[in-house]
Amino acid sequence: MSVNNIKSISQAIATVVGKYGTVTVAYVQETDAWRRSFLSNKAAAEFTAAVEKEAKSGALGPDVTTVALIELPHESEKDARTHWTAFAIKNNDLNQGTTRHIV
């Protein structure tokens, strides 16, 4: 999946508490190139745990309010670590999101 314009994200699949407050965990439902209608319970739990780890460490930063899954764990040429690709949304504004890797 390539990262395209994100049109919508799911409702919260979890909420985690991090260094800077609560972070909503969700997944990207639609971009201008693809749709995801479902995320398995296993993937949701594993992604939530990864986001919680990042949030507790402060790595997400103080303004990130939602982290939405884009891609399931994988490696890439630019990042050989096994990672999730996610969309970190600042101040609950979808237009203020940035793509990041979560390990």
pTM here is 0.91
CB atoms closer than 10 angstroms to residue 24: 19
Mind listing the pLDDT tens digit for each residue in 46-97? Answer: 999 999 999 999 999 999 999 999 999 998 888 888 899 999 999 999 889 9
Helical spans, DSSP H, in the chain: 41-57
Please state the separation of Cα 33 from the chain's center in Å: 18
Look at residue 3 in the predicted model and tell me its pLDDT: 53
Element (H or E) spanning 83, and its range?
strand 83-90
Contact indicator for 52, 16 with CB cutoff of 8 Å: yes
CA 87, CA 84: separation in Å to the nearest integer?
Answer: 10
Query: Taking 50 as the threshold, does the pLDDT of residue 2 lie above it?
Result: no
Contact indicator for 49, 100 with CB cutoff of 8 Å: no
Mind listing the pLDDT tens digit for each residue in 13-38? Answer: 999 999 999 999 999 999 999 999 99
